[in-house]
Structure 1
């Protein structure tokens, strides 16, 4: 399955309602924002998908008692190289027994394949990203679709808005550092345990779902 097929099978209003649970929107703006998301999802259903040999994986975590879904994007070739190695196999539940020093050492060993950001990706390409059916079932198709839509519209509801923001950031930090800075900024906001936890969840997701698709 690809993202376009997922979007097509989900009712627009249901997806939009789920996306709104991910947003911090004032009550007096709910109607306007709902309308923008509705138009966006309807537009996606009409677009053609362009496949680029990339896979989206969803990981589920609990953050401050609230369930959080994070969508990770990997190139199929990078997943293949990663799975050909020997990634550490440690259950997230075991982290509580680790000292900070142990966590730092383990963090150095968890060398994930390059994670790509898709906020700035052409929308036709996002629609062509591969999905794993078991991953969709485990996360929930509706939650998965909503998380994708939320990421796609992070910088606005048009590709022109996203491109303008990308250019602004590129001028500020340079093209080569743009995506890297996003990852570093995210990790700096979290504790060592949280960073390691996310990486271990990503390893588990890659091993569980990465070989189920036609990436290989």
Structure 2
């Protein structure tokens, strides 16, 4: 199952309720997340060698969620480790399969929320994200 399939099969209403439950601090930017969600519905996915993995981590007393990419066919030892994907083009995000462990541990809405949060970590448009990457 790809991220595109998850986005395509859900409404913003269901996703936004879960979004505010998981990331209440995101309420001030909820319109930005909605804009990205609706844009993703219209985009065509691009095939990629990555799968999305989401894990719940603990750092001292704080819990947080890690969204990474795993190579489906690693060629080096480094490629066997989770990779940062926050600067990845959104069409590639959409083409990524969801790692089975993530499907087992999170609801579909939670997966979409965590991916949206990570995709927009530095901006609500790919142009903004590319500007940050170039800096």
Bucket of the pairwise TM-score, normalised by the shorter protein: 0.7 to 0.9
Structure with bigger gyration radius: 1
d(CA) in 2 for partners of 1:114 and 1:133? 16
* In 2, Cα distance between equivalents of 1:164 and 1:19: 26
- Pick one of 69, 73, 91 that aligns with 1:73: 69
Deviation sequence 1:75-111 (CA, Å, 0-9, x none): 1122x766xxxxxxxxxxxxxxxxxxxxxxxxxxxx8
The alpha carbon displacement at 1:13 in A equals 2.3
Check conservation: 1:13, 1:38, Cα contact below 8 A.
Answer: no
Unmatched tracts of structure 2, length 5 or more: none
Gapped runs of 5+ residues in structure 1?
83-110, 169-216
- Given the superposition, is the C-alpha separation of residues 150 and 69 from structure 1 closer, same or farther in structure 2, using an over 3 Å criterion? same
- In the other structure, the counterpart of 1:116 is 83
Q: Which has the higher strand share?
A: 2
- After superposing the two structures, state which structure 1 stretch, 35-44 or 156-165, moved more: 35-44
TM-score (norm 1): 0.54
Q: Return the structure number with greater helix share.
A: 1
Secondary structure of the corresponding residue to residue 77 of structure 1 = coil
Hey, what does 1:24 align to over in structure 2? 25
After superposition, the Cα gap between the structure-2 partners of 1:66 and 1:144, relative to the gap in structure 1 and judged at 3 Å, is farther
Q: TM-score, normalised by structure 2?
A: 0.83
Deviation of 1:63 (Å): 5.2
Question: Is residue 53 of structure 1 aligned with residue 20 of structure 2?
Answer: no
Does the 8 Å contact 2:71/2:79 carry over to 1? no
Deviations 1:39-77 (A, max 9, x none): 110110111000112111122235566653322211112
